Structures are given as C-alpha cells and as structure tokens.
Amino acid sequence: MRKIYILRENEEDGRLLAALEAAGLSTDESEFTNPTCPLCGSSTLLAYTKGEQFELLTWYEIDDDEGAGADAWYLVCSGFECTYEEEVERVFDPMGATAFDQEVAHHQFDEYSGMLERTPVGLKYLISYLQSALEEAPNRKLEAVLDEAEWRYEKDVKQARKWINQVPLGKRVRFRHTDEAADTADEIEGTFVSATDEGFLLLRAPDEQMMLVKADEIYSWEPRKPAVEEISERRKGLKVIDRSDKDGKPRMIYMCGSRDIIVVQGHHLHVNHIDRYGQYHVYSSDPTAAAALSLEAQGNAYWEGVFRRSDVEARYEVGHFVKVKGHWLEQHGVGGKNTWVAVHTEDPDIAAALGLEEQTPLFPPETEEERQRYRPRWTGLFPNEEVEERKEVRTYRWPLPELQVPEA
C-alpha cells in the first residue's frame, strides 16, 4: 500500500528535505508535483472514511489530527467523470513516502471546479450537474462535492440576505448581478426600495425602472456597510498623480524594505520568503556576503540564495524608529525623495501631542470580540529636519536574548 505524507505548514526541521534527497528528488519547490490520476492524468485529492462518513479534503491545509481514527485513507481523482480511487496509508514520517501538498491540491481542484470563484448562480448550475450525475451512477466522491457546493451556495445567499437586511430604504447601491434566465452578468446601480422574501426591489439607474433582484443573483456589492458608507466613485481615465499636498507633504509614500533578517556564517541576509519545504530564500546587496555564501547574482549589486533552517544562526526583525518633539515613533516609510518620514504609533497621548491622524482599518472590527482586540493606530508625516534622533531596534526570534534579572 502506498504511503502518503502530507506536507506540514512548517517543514523547517529538514525531515522532508532529507526524504526528498534520499529519494533522488529535487528540493526545488517549483518542481514539486502531487501524484496524478493513473487513469486520466488529472490532479488528485485525499479522502478518508470514518464509519459511514466519506470526507473529501479540498481545503488549503490539513491539521495533523484531521481524520484521527479514520478507517481508511484514499487517493482519488479530482475529475467528476473519473472513478479512480486508491486506498493509501497516511504517515507522519516523510522518509520513503509520497509527498502530498494539500495547498497545491486545493488550487488545482478549485481551478478545475471553480468552486471558490463561482457565483451563487454558478453554484446552482454545478449542483444541478452533480445531482444529475448522481442519479445516473451513485458516487461517494461526487456526493461529497455536492455537499460542499450546497454549503457554499447557502453561505453566499446567507451573506447576501444579511447585506440586503442592512440597506436603508432609499440607499444608492451597486452590485454585480447574474441573471440565470438570460445567462448574463452585469454591474447594476440603483436606489434600494425594499427587501422582499426573494431578495429586494430596486429602482435601476439610469431610467429608474423597478427591478426585482433575487438574493442568489448578486455578488460583489457596495457599499459593504450600507448604513454608513457611500459607494466609491470610479476613476475615469488616467489622471496625473499630484505627489504633494498644498502644505508640501508628500502623498506618495514608499514603504520600508524587508525587515526580516537571518544570520548565516555571520552574514546578515534579508528574508524574501520561506518556501513549503522550510527553506529560507534570501537576498543581499553585500558583495562580501555574496562571495562567502556563494549567492547567485540576479542584477547589479543584488544576490539571492537558499538556506535550510539548520544553516541559520539567528533570525530577527528590524524596527526603524525616529524621535520627533521628544516622542519616539515607528517609521514605516519615506516620501518626497527621502526628505520626509512616515510614522505611526498606537499611543493616543503621543498621537494627540503630535496631531497624528487615526488610521482607518482596512477591515473595521464588526463583532464585540473584534472590537475588544482592535488597537487603533495613528499615522503622520514629518520632514527630516524635525527628526531629532533615529535608531534601529532588533527583535530576535532566535536565539532569544538572555533574560536580564536585576540585582536585588
């Protein structure tokens, strides 16, 4: 029986890399492929049985305890019309096993089925197809896909109804509309009249004709919070960006670069990303580090390399701070050709003293729990002439600085 090892979210212990090398496989993440269906060549999915339950795994990640106590694990074809199904053994040691990346499987299945991208109307078509296919030949894989499609449809409609119930009468709204009968998708704007059992009534712009809109025909609506927001205005054509306000403050802010640093053989390298195998992809503009570590040149004074966790001596994050009018602020960007600093703070007293503006969160807290956890942030811009001091602060992930215990 084939052994299947599911990639973990964190593979930095090097066990997977050792298993790949032992099997003569590449440790380049870009060359990885999941097992394919031996009958039709399609991508595969994992599934398991537990009693009468058949669980098809289509999510991004799978926890170690997923399927605990399962009666059996299976590798199945993702294609709707293919019946390939192979019993496998799930193992937690990659040595001698076939590696399986659940994130890859999820994206491949979503590309094939369109499960995430489908509108509610599109999901209805998929549900109808699956129901017809199951009437012709019972199939537990398709039954599982049908359950997920029905769940997603109900969830989308529930979200649409929640939005409909929040729209005040007479509110101007905009949304994407899928007409099931005409098989068209249009963007519609109009004035909300009233909610109905099926959806809502709308005076459609520009002729203000009455229109009945069903809840499962809408998606991508705005304003997202109809009780307080207004719909955004479109940009018409390209506009020249005014890079400074009337008071001289820059409007174009360049964010600070990578602050995630690792140390390899005493050389400090910027972390680009950590791949699925737990390898650190780094870059540097230091020619000495590039020569010592055999980094590959990618441009003028720019080198890249890949290292294992076992190669890394330390990892830390760098924070940039500036002192303005006696207050320390964290710097997150620069503007005006490095003549201004963009800063922020979570201290309301400092914000008030310096006249900083409260930042509008990208996703405002909605629930009471989110509101309790939310910490407001204030931002501002200052010219370099007002900066009294600058400093960098390192926050180590490892090794942790020794605990300093003051003498009694």
What string of pLDDT tens digits covers the 408 residues of the chain?
999 999 999 999 999 999 999 999 999 999 999 999 999 999 999 999 999 999 999 999 999 999 999 999 999 999 999 999 999 999 999 999 999 999 999 999 999 999 999 999 999 999 999 999 999 998 999 999 999 999 999 999 999 999 999 999 999 999 999 976 656 678 999 999 999 999 999 999 999 999 999 999 999 999 988 988 888 765 333 343 444 555 678 888 998 866 899 999 999 999 999 999 999 999 999 999 999 999 999 989 999 999 999 999 999 999 999 999 999 999 999 998 889 999 999 999 999 999 999 998 877 787 788 889 999 999 999 999 999 999 999 999 888 765 444 443
Q: SS3 for 362?
A: coil
Q: How far apart, in Å, do the first and last CA atoms of the chain sit?
A: 64
Residues in contact with 267: Cβ distance below 8 Å, sequence separation at least 6, in sequence order:
284, 286, 288, 289, 292, 293
- What's the token pair of residue 236? 């018409």
In the numeric block, the tokens 């998606």 are attached to: 219
Give the pTM: 0.83
